[in-house]
């Protein structure tokens, strides 16, 4: 089998090898960020005034929209929302200010854009047991950041999806570039130089009579 035929037979394997090499790294590093801890913690019994809820993640959430609008946290109780503003990001922490109302169970619903560019979401509850006579906020029938409600899937979710598509497309282009480099290297290694006559063969008689 000649060099070119061997190259043609090996080319599909080289392409698959290059694709696996290019994609192995991004896939292994693309796990979504997870919630590491929260304040208040899940199932905690809060007995003092609470000014905010802070979520800490395994990675740094991305801010893909104006005013942190690609990330959202809602604090709910009895059909009303008790967050008072949009979230603030600081490294791996996402904080939303709150003014709680009456005693009871409160649900924290969150959605963030992971450091890998994909959305991550979840929820948990804590119990609020204020001291007698503590001031109670009225809450709101809608989230403080209505356009970015973690449960609404509205404008912010659409914006995050658009940005995620761009990030994914860029990653795909990069992967194809790596595949091209790998194939080029394998192609270069597979090419066999044509044999060159050595000095002895060059000076050997042709075997034909003069």
- Per-residue pLDDT for the chain (210 aa), expressed as one digit of tens each? 554 554 455 445 444 444 444 444 444 345 688 999 999 999 999 999 999 999 999 999 998 766 566 899 999 999 999 999 999 999 999 999 999 999 999 999 999 999 999 999 999 999 999 999 999 999 999 999 864 444 444 434 444 444 443 344 334 444 444 445 454 555 566 555 555 555 554 454 555 555
The encoded tokens of residue 47 equal 């007995």
* Confidence at residue 148, expressed as pLDDT on a 0 to 100 scale: 46
* Confidence at residue 39, expressed as pLDDT on a 0 to 100 scale: 98
* Confidence at residue 18, expressed as pLDDT on a 0 to 100 scale: 45
- Residue 13 makes CB contacts below 8 A (sequence gap 6+) with none
* Confidence at residue 55, expressed as pLDDT on a 0 to 100 scale: 98
H/E element, 109: strand 104-113
Q: Report how far Cα 90 is from the mean position of its chain's Cα atoms.
A: 18
> What is the distance between the alpha carbons of residues 182 and 123, in angstroms, rounded to a whole number?
44
> What is the distance between the alpha carbons of residues 113 and 120, in angstroms, rounded to a whole number?
6
């Amino acid at each position: 089998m000649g060099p070119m035929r061997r190259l043609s037979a090996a080319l599909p394997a080289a392409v698959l090898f290059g694709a696996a090499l290019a994609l192995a790294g991004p896939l292994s590093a693309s796990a979504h960020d997870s919630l590491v801890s929260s304040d208040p913690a899940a199932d905690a019994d809060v007995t003092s005034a609470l000014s905010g809820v802070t979520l800490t993640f395994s990675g740094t959430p991305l801010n893909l929209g104006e005013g942190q609008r690609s990330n959202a946290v809602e604090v709910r109780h009895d059909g009303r929302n008790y967050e008072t503003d949009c979230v603030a990001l600081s490294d791996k922490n996402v904080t939303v200010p709150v003014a709680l109302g009456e005693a009871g169970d409160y649900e924290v619903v969150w959605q963030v854009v992971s450091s890998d560019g994909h959305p991550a979401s979840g929820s948990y509850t804590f119990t609020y047991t204020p001291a007698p006579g503590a001031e109670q906020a009225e809450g709101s029938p809608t989230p403080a950041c209505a356009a970015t409600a973690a449960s609404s899937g509205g404008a912010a979710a659409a914006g995050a999806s658009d940005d995620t598509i761009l990030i994914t497309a860029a990653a795909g282009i990069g992967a194809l570039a790596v595949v091209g480099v790998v194939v080029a290297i394998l192609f270069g290694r597979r090419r066999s130089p044509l044999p060159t006559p050595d000095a002895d063969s060059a000076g050997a008689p042709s075997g034909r009579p003069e």
